[in-house]
Chain A
Amino acid sequence: MKLTVWTYEGPPHVGAMRVATAMKGLHYVLHAPQGDTYADLLFTMIERRDHRPPVTYTTFEGRDLGEDTAGIFKVTCQEAYDRFQPQAMIVGASCTAELIQDDPGGLAETMQIPVPVIPLELPSYQRKENFGSDETFYQIVRALAAPMDRTPDVTVNILGPLALGFRHRDDIEEVKGLLFEMGIGINVVAPFDATPEDITRLGAAHANVVLYPEHAESAARHLERTFDQPYTKTVPIGVGATHDFVAEVAALCGVEPRKDLSRLRQPWWSKSVDSTYLTGKRVFLFGDATHVKAAARIARDEMGFEVVGLGCYNREFARPIRELAKEFNVPALITDDYLEVEKAIEDAAPEMILGTQMERHIGKRLGIPCAVISAPVHVQDFPARYSPQMGWEGANVIFDTWIHPLVMGLEEHLLAMFREDFEFHDEAGPSHHGGHAPKPVDAARTPDRVEEERVSEAQPETGSDVMVWLADAEMELKKIPFFVRGKARRNTEKFAADQGLHEISLDTLYEAKAHFAR
């Protein structure tokens, strides 16, 4: 048993639902108790789909358990076929039905359903959502893809985009554009918007483009083995990766690596002097392996950040993430426990976090800016506007997204320069609120006095009650701009604690500053 509050991934049958919901003309019959339909609202609310996921649940109840749950499954399966008339069906069990051992696949086989019925074995107590999607897509491809002649023109399949995928909708468009520029046609995009009939035609493509290894690697391997179709290993997130991707696809397909860079603004944005202040910003990366891998390269090579920690929650990709961490000379964090992630972030004391929805909240708690780079994400990261992560436009989107949470360079300098200005101290408030109008001076509450109160109030929050700030150190701390003061306080206290000190003097403050300086 493992106590959990937050999970990065759902159970594997949710992965299967993501494949089914992405596709058209496919229906999923899930042997599951009442309540498991909660997963529908992930699709209708978070992704804002305008139709119900094509999933029928058997909804067995307690009183059915001693009787005929297998019979309920068969009736449900037949009714789902009759009502929805899909081109193919997938059948499987959720965690509870796995325990009652009804074998949906075997039961469906005994029925006279005139379309392919593909059984899924998803071990709910060992594996998770990403396994579920990868395995489901693999089983569908294995069952349906038939050998056939290659298309006369050069075409590829785009594999991996799913329902509830982080920016999958727009990544498809961007990658289609990259391929179009090279004169490569699209045979099938799957699972996103593909029908089972489309899946049967996968074999006609010359190669496969795998956008999300988490969801399509097993299928791509199968297609390589069975139909001799090579597949891409580079995920085109970031400028460098997109260049590599174009070269890789061109080589696989034997075409010219033509690119239209007219829309690509990220490199100039990053070179412009306004971005100088980004140099060496310490970032911590966490998310699914694919997005973390891509983000690490962008952070270092395209933004000039320093990566101070990285990790992923999907153990299936632990090995490549460990290698990546070695390359960046930081510890690899492979965990699905957000408390461990929070601990690692606290220890690394980054200036920015690139992570999932959960890291956004960790960032909020620790007062560290954060941008979202990976699922799981909430509704605001299924935007109405076009916002891919992949390709040239993706690079533009990523640049904007990552720097917005940071304090702009000029702003940072102005705040530091004028921090003791009589009109520009922390308590003055914004000028458009009339904060600068002369006020009757309340002798008991001068700004300094207010600040002192704030400092003493803030102290218990630091969690180091035994630490005493000497007067001169405290005065100096107050001169630090408010938005980094909390971090300076934490770092200094941590430094002092590591040194076995209980008092913080002016010297301690500056020794700590030197210690954490880069």
Chain B
Amino acid sequence: MNTPNPITATTCRDTPVLKERGQREVFCGLTGIIWLHRKMQDAFFLVIGSRTCAHLLQSAAGVMIFAEPRFGTAILEETDLAGMADAHEELDREVARLLSRRPDIKQLFLVGSCPSEVIKLDLARAAERLTQVHAPHVRVLNYSGSGIETTFTQGEDACLASMVPVLPTTDQRELLLVGALPDVVEDQAVSLLTQMGIGPIRVLPAPRTAETPGVGPNTVFACLQPFLGDTAAALTRRGAHHIQAPFPFGEEGTTLWLRAIADEFGVDETTFERVTAAPRARARKAIANASEHLNGKTIFFMPDSQLEIPLARFLTRECGMEAIEIGQPFIHKGLVGPDLDLMPAGPTISEGQDVDKQLDRVRAARPDLTVCGLGLANPLEAEGLTTKWAIELVFTPVHFYEQAGDLAGLFSRPVRRRALLKLEAAE
């Protein structure tokens, strides 16, 4: 007779996910514009939304707002809400004005927001119409960065996915790297792969519209970021082959990511060793220096960017930390599965958020370090908890070997600071 045999999870992949709904303390997808517009140098991002959307971008972009950024908000007014036909005419007029003022713009994204989605403003049709009007000089695309559909980095996913159907078709066997990374990091990745003899290598998004990569049945692609689920699906639909790997954070992550691509392209072990040995050693050394203060410390991730699982993998395996809870706004197992496999079961894996309940868990666990958004960081610090604000992890170069030490440093700095400050009077 079979006795009930409880299935115990062995890795984080088998761990049942705690799914929560309630108040979320996260950015919406519009914030993706702030880094995407730096990466795509001839694109303009036009949000169709409310004053709230404009205020959000302003608050999130900080000083960047003063540098004549290539983004803006077409603020819906009372009259736009009254009649729909009117809104399309208004949009056409604003776009025409914008494009005449910025003739350098080759690609215009109409970015949907909560208000534009609730009133069902058809931006897809508007984009088609405007593409015809402004062809061949400007291509107009649309995607949604609304809070009701997207969380923070999902905005980049939605944007890249909107580009996939219009990528030119190619039969070439090319490696496509997907995800917007700082140039310096992207160059490092391309250089390592090139030294292994892999190529041609293309990137999505390309810095300029003229360099837009092609895609086809011989394309193989690897994601640089864990939040690109829709883009990966769209590329797969166009016949491209997805290389699955842990994400390139830390020495181990970078090596496994490179190895997966090297295997796909039949790179031999000697070549792989020759190319990676020196940077691997550098990365290990830098991590060892920076992670001295992280060893044995506990960490709690509030959901923010979907980077949480790969980062937890890096911090637990390479910096000696212990994860208590790894919160994610959304878990795409097809992408983060390899990272989950590397972590032994133990931490709570949560998806979604009910912020007050989650804060109760933080307070009960009193982790040594809490990774959270800026709306929570100072209040938690005031309660005596040490925090690392999460947004910096998206804006700072943290991928690949040369940044591995910096990445560990981002987490160790708040811990070191807490130990350094002597603000109370000596007893």
Task: Tell me whether B135 is interfacial, beta carbon within 8 Å.
Answer: no
Whole-angstrom distance between the Cβ of A6 and the nearest chain B Cβ: 6
Whole-angstrom distance between the Cβ of B99 and the nearest chain A Cβ: 11
Q: How far is the CA of A13 from the CA of B117 in the complex (A)?
A: 20
Contact of A1 among B65, B87, B147 (CB under 8 A): B87
Q: Are B118 and A3 in contact (CB under 8 A)?
A: no
Known contacts A6-B65, A125-B81, A128-B51: A1-B91 contact under CB 8 Å: yes
Chain B contacts for A5, CB-based, 8 A: 54, 58, 65, 69, 71-73
State which residues 20-61 of A face B: CB under 8 Å: 33-42, 44-45, 48-52, 56-61
* B contacts with A: majority SS: helix
Chain B contacts for A444, CB-based, 8 A: none
Q: How far is the CA of A59 from the CA of B151 in the complex (A)?
A: 12
Whole-angstrom distance between the Cβ of B201 and the nearest chain A Cβ: 35
Q: How far is the CA of A100 from the CA of B81 in the complex (A)?
A: 12
Whole-angstrom distance between the Cβ of A32 and the nearest chain B Cβ: 8
Whole-angstrom distance between the Cβ of A356 and the nearest chain B Cβ: 12
Q: Are A33 and B58 in contact (CB under 8 A)?
A: no
Q: Are B23 and A58 in contact (CB under 8 A)?
A: yes
Contact of A44 among B80, B87, B379 (CB under 8 A): B379
Whole-angstrom distance between the Cβ of A255 and the nearest chain B Cβ: 41
Task: Tell me whether A94 is interfacial, beta carbon within 8 Å.
Answer: yes
Pairs across A and B, CB under 8 Å, 25 listed: A1-B48, A1-B91, A3-B46, A10-B52, A11-B50, A11-B55, A35-B56, A36-B28, A41-B374, A44-B374, A44-B378, A44-B379, A50-B378, A50-B379, A51-B382, A52-B376, A59-B24, A62-B148, A79-B22, A79-B356, A95-B114, A96-B50, A99-B81, A124-B52, A361-B66
Q: Are A1 and B77 in contact (CB under 8 A)?
A: yes
Q: How far is the CA of A202 from the CA of B29 in the complex (A)?
A: 44
Q: How far is the CA of A61 from the CA of B26 in the complex (A)?
A: 13
Q: Are A3 and B23 in contact (CB under 8 A)?
A: no
Chain B contacts for A275, CB-based, 8 A: none
Q: Are B77 and A37 in contact (CB under 8 A)?
A: no
Q: Are A125 and B50 in contact (CB under 8 A)?
A: yes
Contact of A56 among B23, B52, B87, B379 (CB under 8 A): B23
Q: Chain B: which residue is nearest A2 at the CB level?
A: B75
State which residues 84-98 of A face B: CB under 8 Å: 94-96
Task: Tell me whether A83 is interfacial, beta carbon within 8 Å.
Answer: yes
Task: Tell me whether B59 is interfacial, beta carbon within 8 Å.
Answer: yes
Chain A contacts for B93, CB-based, 8 A: 1
Known contacts A7-B51, A35-B147: A45-B374 contact under CB 8 Å: yes
Q: Are A59 and B22 in contact (CB under 8 A)?
A: yes
Q: Are A96 and B115 in contact (CB under 8 A)?
A: yes
Q: How far is the CA of A50 from the CA of B378 in the complex (A)?
A: 6
Task: Tell me whether B234 is interfacial, beta carbon within 8 Å.
Answer: no
Q: Are A36 and B73 in contact (CB under 8 A)?
A: no
Task: Tell me whether B149 is interfacial, beta carbon within 8 Å.
Answer: yes
Sorted nearest first, the 6 A-B pairs with minimum C-beta distance are A35-B28, A35-B147, A40-B375, A50-B382, A96-B114, A95-B50
Task: Tell me whether B196 is interfacial, beta carbon within 8 Å.
Answer: no
Task: Tell me whether A491 is interfacial, beta carbon within 8 Å.
Answer: no
Q: Add 10 more A-B contacts to A33-B148, A57-B23 (CB < 8 A).
A: A1-B91, A4-B51, A7-B55, A10-B52, A35-B27, A36-B52, A45-B374, A124-B51, A125-B80, A361-B66
Contact with B along A185-224 (1 / 0, CB 8 A): 0000000000000000000000000000000000000000
Chain B contacts for A100, CB-based, 8 A: 118
Known contacts A36-B52, A41-B374: A99-B77 contact under CB 8 Å: no
Task: Tell me whether B230 is interfacial, beta carbon within 8 Å.
Answer: no
Q: Are B94 and A3 in contact (CB under 8 A)?
A: yes
Known contacts A7-B54, A10-B52, A14-B55: A41-B375 contact under CB 8 Å: yes
Q: Are B77 and A7 in contact (CB under 8 A)?
A: no
Contact with A along B182-226 (1 / 0, CB 8 A): 000000000000000000000000000000000000000000000
Q: How far is the CA of A48 from the CA of B59 in the complex (A)?
A: 14
Task: Tell me whether B9 is interfacial, beta carbon within 8 Å.
Answer: no
Chain A contacts for B243, CB-based, 8 A: none
Q: How far is the CA of A385 from the CA of B21 in the complex (A)?
A: 42
Q: How far is the CA of A44 from the CA of B76 in the complex (A)?
A: 29
Task: Tell me whether B98 is interfacial, beta carbon within 8 Å.
Answer: yes
Q: Chain B: which residue is nearest A30 at the CB level?
A: B23
Known contacts A44-B375, A96-B118: A3-B25 contact under CB 8 Å: no
Task: Tell me whether A65 is interfacial, beta carbon within 8 Å.
Answer: yes
Q: Are B146 and A62 in contact (CB under 8 A)?
A: yes
Task: Tell me whether A499 is interfacial, beta carbon within 8 Å.
Answer: no
Q: Are A33 and B146 in contact (CB under 8 A)?
A: yes
Q: How far is the CA of A56 from the CA of B156 in the complex (A)?
A: 27
Known contacts A7-B51, A125-B81: A65-B118 contact under CB 8 Å: yes
